[in-house]
Chains A and B, each alone.
Chain A
């Protein structure tokens, strides 16, 4: 068992596990966000639960942050190592003949997702931490005390068209990243068998469907605020 994370396969396995965890997180994030389109009250209830339940806040949230940081840091470390494995580049390289653009540019789609995440944290996570843990307001209520604040805040964020555009671009990069990453994670943990073909189909549905759903939510709130 010793030194497994120092081996190429061990690092690949760890990268895949963090990816699978993050893909599960994205799915639950989407499930809550889509409630904002279906029922503002249900969205408020779910947001308040996620924002105040101790297990989510003090157990799952730190695990998620560690998972995100690990995935990005390991991604960049592997990219640097991989670049060192070929010191002289080809004068002519036809990568498109044998692999997808998405698979060859995970570092770029991942880098843009990182930029998007910084913006997303500044927009939502930091104000939330400020309200709850710096100002000490755990009530989740609006300033006038008339109902929960979460749906109001969400709609308010998507009023400026530039922010909607920025989020849409971020979700496009997420889709490009997932189009390779979803299936790749299963290959990395050794799952290449009779289910692989079906999994590839499902991965396309996930990789296009979930980001498209997020884009729909952003546009919905922009046009319905």
Chain B
């Protein structure tokens, strides 16, 4: 496959940045999207040009590091995948492919296609945990019975890898699917009840302070989420937040 790539290039966080055109030839349809970018970078290095910076780590859809906005969609045109799981067979010979970083005020561009998603870490620090004494006194989680339905729902919420596709794809750059999943995974379990009030209030407060937009229920986040996190988690967070606000 021969392709034209339109890639966002930005030297650093302060640079204005622009789209730059590149040609790549003889791309195998069996390559992953990131392998195709590796081919491009090899070409650029051989020409003594600056390679394109992009995030990646596990390359098997678990770590949530790869974060590209491809042809107008987070993680590209396929469903239920991260960018590293996107294959070139999803494109046709001669295609022009737009490759941009995830865009949000709360995800500032560091360089080229790499964005800083530490705002997600700060939301997690605000309450995305349970306080358990683990210093030689670890309690077996299975000692507390959990309803199967709740356990399954909590597990589904916990599969969120925090990649940020929900924010990138939302027209409002809202982080509510991410925060909804993180709140839900504890709200559904007995272990999460003790800190439930503070958790949701603090996480939502931090989310708002980071500059994410408001959810308008377009549902785009759910469609683009590589882990299929449901909008049900946002509804649950809303309920948890209102309960906590009335209590606190």
Contact = CB atoms under 8 A, between A and B. Distances in A.
Contact of A1 (B98, B103, B172, B245): B245
A106 B218 CA distance: 10
A224 B217 CA distance: 42
B10 to A, nearest CB: 10
Interface string A78-99: 1001101111111111110111
A149 interface: no
Nearest to A85: B213
A43 interface: no
Per DSSP, are chain B's interface residues mostly helix, strand or loop, or mixed?
mixed
A13 B242 contact: yes
A190 B236 contact: yes
B238 A12 contact: yes
A180 B242 contact: no
Nearest to B205: A7
Interface in B219-248: 219-220, 223-224, 231-232, 234-239, 241-242, 245-246, 248
Contacts of B238: 9, 12-13, 187-190
A187 B235 contact: yes
Nearest to A11: B214
Nearest to A100: B218
A88 B105 CA distance: 8
Nearest to A88: B103
A63 interface: no
B245 A90 contact: no
B106 interface: yes
Interface in B99-117: 100, 103-106
B215 interface: yes
Contacts of B32: none
Given A86-B173, A91-B100, A92-B71, A192 B214 contact: no
A181 B100 CA distance: 31
Interface in A7-54: 7-13
A103 B103 contact: no
Contacts of A104: 171, 218
B123 interface: no
A155 interface: no
B218 A99 contact: yes
A193 B235 CA distance: 9
A103 B172 CA distance: 12
Given A106-B216, A187-B235, A94 B204 contact: no
Contact of B174 (A1, A11, A85, A92): A85
B235 A192 contact: yes
Contacts of B65: none
Given A99-B218, A99-B219, A85 B72 contact: no
Contact of B235 (A84, A92, A190): A190
B237 A92 contact: no
Interface of A: 1, 4, 7-13, 78, 81-82, 84-95, 97-100, 103-104, 106, 180, 183-184, 187-193
